Chain A
Amino acid sequence: MSRSPAFPLSADGGRTSGSLLAGFLSSDLPRSKVLTVILLAILLALAATPFLFSGSLPLSTAAKICVFIVLVASYDLLLGYTGIVSFAHTMFFGIGGYGVAITLERFGATWISIATGLFVALFLSALLAIAIGLLSLRVRAIFFSMITLAVASAMAVLASQLSTITGGEDGLSFQLPVELRPAFRLLPEPVLGVAINGRLIAYYLLFFVALLMFLLLLRIVNSPFGRVLQAIRENEFRAEALGYRVVAYRTMASVVSALAATVAGALMALWLRYNGPDTTLSFSIMIDILLMVVIGGMGTMYGSVIGATLFLLAQSYLQVLMDAGSKTLAGIPVLPNLIHPDRWLLWLGALFVISVYAFPGGIVGRLRQAEQ
């Protein structure tokens, strides 16, 4: 872009430059002490999970959090920064997963398979995102939501029907390259009591790719391109009048976000050594992503970190709490049903609605507000 928009943008507030950290974070600092502490805690906990907790469940949860941070952050690029609602984000997530799964299953467990699968998946995602964008964003943004919903559901049906390629409802299980298998030992001796095996390498691969993707997305939203997206979100007509081609920018945003979701899908498949409709393609994951973005905070990348972490922890631990509550209330009609562990989504849904009304900035917005 040759010039910056002529009007001030909200996210421009805390620009500081100079330090190395600010450079890493694209000068978009958390701008709240509490938020900074929480983010650092999450970062450290994720980085040290294999050494802090034993057993496979904490490690799986941590890996899932890493993947979902990328997925949710890329969705926030669309929803929070560009102001368009897509329901096809899981489709791109699924394409990433299937890309890697299909090549690893067909062409053997090599790094080349992973690269090929990822590359083909990225290409396909970009193509689809452009097609959807041009078909629907020309007219009005609201078409985009409905059309993405339709295309995503058609894609889910296709994935379950083309069972010779995708494994249908059963999905695909596959082997990883030797270096990522649990039996592989990088060091003969355990470090701090933890064996340095392929599983650990896979986790750190996930962790660093996720971190890199997150910083990249942070860079994108703070670039001149990202500023134009925010301008479009705030006032579409004004942005157009200033000479920015709204359709082109929105389509670009949806492509970037689709590519990031594809990478997240590939990471998910690599971690699970499996990909199927339920792990990457289902509509319930789409709803989860929406909840994470809105509760964490739309329009800030840090919101996705908070949202994904909170949601996935709640998924594991809120249900235990609700189970206890449900048992103590047994005997009263309907009430135990409402806090039955399977109904945890009811409460998160209510929190979601309240968030949209009362705290449009989500948790991050709330924390920043409290600071001022």
Chain B
Amino acid sequence: MTGTTVEPSAPSEPLPRTRTDWLPLLLVPALALLALPLVGSGSTWATLTVAGLAMGMMIFLMASGLTLVFGLMDIINFGHGVFISLGAYASLLVLGPLAGWAQSDSVWLNLALLLFCILAAMGVTGTVGAVFERIIVRPVYGSHLKQILVTMGGLIVAEQAIHAIWGASPIPIPLPATLRGALIIGDVVMERYRLVAVGIGLVVFVGMQLLLNRTRIGLLIRAGVENPEMVEALGYRIRRLFVSVFVAGSALAGLGGVMWAFYRQTLTAGMGMEVMVLVFIVIIIGGLGSVGGCFVGSVLVALVANYVGFIEPKLALISNILVMALVLIWRPQGLFPVARR
């Protein structure tokens, strides 16, 4: 652990950790406040902030699975991007038969459609994840070099398979009717879909934190991260735990993929790999294996990209890299270094 201030937690804290490292958490509000005078107008600032938060949530959804898998299994899955694409394509399974729901004026029907898309995507990516773990990943536990190579190979094959199944040309997927457009409150413009994304992202984040910190499974997972042999010696099947975490990670990628696809409104097999760059930046910033760090990193990167894009558009192209470089100079292991690794 780093030598920064470590304070005991109070019951009302948003992150139910026994010890909370406050500095990285303060980074996000500090950044938002710093940007306010630079942006100038308050309503523009609010618009940028909400949009950035939504973007951050979507990145978090896509990245959380990867960092979880790394934290528990020490597996780096370069093929994670293909689960994002696959999840997005899987939503076509629902969008085809339920096309009427997308045109409906009812918010609830539209949200239900989104929910079904997400469930379909998570089902498909979870299943494929189980197969992927068995065929591609299991033989290379313990060797990072081979993991990178083999999962890249899996990515190539799976991406080509998507081409073979759904065709190589991009497929447009329109947003459900009531989720299009923006809400305008005063001078603040907020896209509706981004608000939905913020909601889903928060639910997933809180759910993951509760699961990891307040349940027996979460306890086992955290124990497995610390000392897998000991957990196994106590009579738990660590292998089964590993596989279920990999499946959960893949399903989360599928969830992120659906959200990302509706945001882009087009499907391409390469969409997952394109966003992987951001995903890697985010999990490096957060500290490999830390879910909370991944969350903070996502929001940080998305906010910086938005503010910089507004203040100095030319710089926005490399703002992600700059944020990463600065964070790594400050904390070479990322914001929340995971113990032991």
Contacts and interface: CB of A to CB of B under 8 A. Distances in A.
A130 to B, nearest CB: 14
A357 B139 contact: yes
A352 interface: yes
B148 A145 contact: yes
B23 interface: no
Given A85-B149, A141-B144, A343-B160, A147 B139 contact: no
Nearest to B332: A139
Contact of B144 (A142, A158, A350): A142
Contact of A345 (B140, B149, B160, B276): B160
Interface string A252-296: 000000000000000000000000000000010001001100100
Interface string A142-157: 1101110111011001
Interface stretch (A45-53, A94-102, A219-227, A332-340): A332-340
A353 B153 contact: yes
Given A154-B320, A287-B156, A334-B164, A135 B149 contact: no
A342 interface: yes
B156 A138 contact: no
A345 B149 CA distance: 15
A161 interface: yes
B205 interface: no
B31 interface: no
Contact of B146 (A143, A146, A334, A356): A356
A346 interface: yes
Nearest to B321: A154
Instruction: Give the interface size class of chain A.
Output: 35 or more
A342 B136 contact: no
Q: Point out which of A145, A283, A334 has the most chain B C-beta atoms below 10 A from its C-beta.
A: A145
Interface stretch (B48-56, B193-201, B226-234, B277-285): B277-285
Interface residues of B, number: 41
Interface string B55-67: 0000000000000
B318 A135 contact: no
A150 B301 CA distance: 13
Determine chain B's interface SS by DSSP, over half rule: helix
A23 interface: no
A294 B149 contact: yes
B164 A150 contact: no
A135 B325 contact: yes
A151 B153 contact: no
B277 A150 contact: yes
A325 interface: no
B104 to A, nearest CB: 33
Contacts of A297: none
Interface in B297-341: 314, 317-318, 320-321, 324-325, 328-329, 332-333
26 contacts: A83-B145, A85-B149, A135-B325, A135-B329, A138-B332, A139-B328, A139-B333, A142-B144, A145-B76, A146-B280, A147-B280, A149-B280, A150-B277, A150-B281, A158-B317, A290-B152, A337-B164, A338-B164, A343-B164, A346-B157, A346-B164, A349-B153, A349-B160, A352-B153, A356-B140, A357-B139
Top 8 A-B pairs ranked by shortest CB distance?
A: A349-B156, A346-B160, A353-B153, A146-B280, A349-B157, A352-B153, A337-B164, A153-B277
